[in-house]
Homo-oligomer: A and B are copies of this chain.
Amino acid sequence: MQTSHEQFRDLAWKSGLAATHQRQVIYEAVMAAPGHYSPEQIYAAVRRQTPSISLATIYNNLRLFVEHGLLREVSPRTSTLLVEGNLEPHHHLVCTRCKAVQDIEGDFINYKKLSRQAPRGFDLTQPLVEVFGLCRRCSAEK
């Protein structure tokens, strides 16, 4: 059985990333337990083992890990607030790379299955969804 150090070195090598000590501990902090973590949370956890680490290093490497598919961004966020006047129920297609948002029509959600899976008390009246993918330009550039 591989140690977690070896696992990371392996992944880093496959992604063409240098296996630095900082990257190791950041990666292990995220993988230690399932969950959604913010840069500040990871910073706090990692500093216990590596007090000299910089917050900028956390940000740099999280971005790198997400780009290389070692981690997933929980909720691809546009840089600014966006509002729309179209109140008709409709969905959005979001490019995970450039964050562009376009409307998408159509009924592709099985509401019965969805509400069966939702936790008790979660209000799904008018469930709107965002579908993630790569827009034409970004998928061409890749």
* Interface of A toward B, CB cutoff 8 Å: 30-31, 34-40, 42, 59, 62, 65-66, 69, 71-75, 77-78, 80-87, 92-94, 101-102, 104-111, 113-114, 116-125, 127-136, 138-140
Can you list 10 pairs linking A and B with CB atoms under 8 Å apart? A30-B85, A73-B83, A108-B113, A118-B131, A118-B133, A123-B133, A123-B134, A124-B131, A124-B133, A129-B132
In addition to A36-B101, A42-B83, A106-B113, 10 A-B residue pairs with Cβ atoms within 8 Å of each other are A38-B81, A38-B82, A39-B81, A62-B83, A65-B83, A71-B87, A118-B133, A123-B134, A123-B139, A127-B132
| A135–B37 CA distance with the chains assembled, in angstroms | 19
| A132–B89 CA distance with the chains assembled, in angstroms | 12
- Contacts A74-B83, A81-B38, A83-B73 known; A128 to B132 CB distance under 8 Å? yes
5 smallest beta-carbon distances between A and B, as pairs: A121-B136, A74-B82, A123-B134, A123-B139, A106-B117
* Contact among B37, B40, B75, B78 with A92 in the assembled complex (CB-CB below 8 Å): B75
| A118–B139 CA distance with the chains assembled, in angstroms | 14
| A101–B75 CA distance with the chains assembled, in angstroms | 9
| A123–B36 CA distance with the chains assembled, in angstroms | 25
- Contacts A39-B80, A130-B129 known; A93 to B122 CB distance under 8 Å? yes
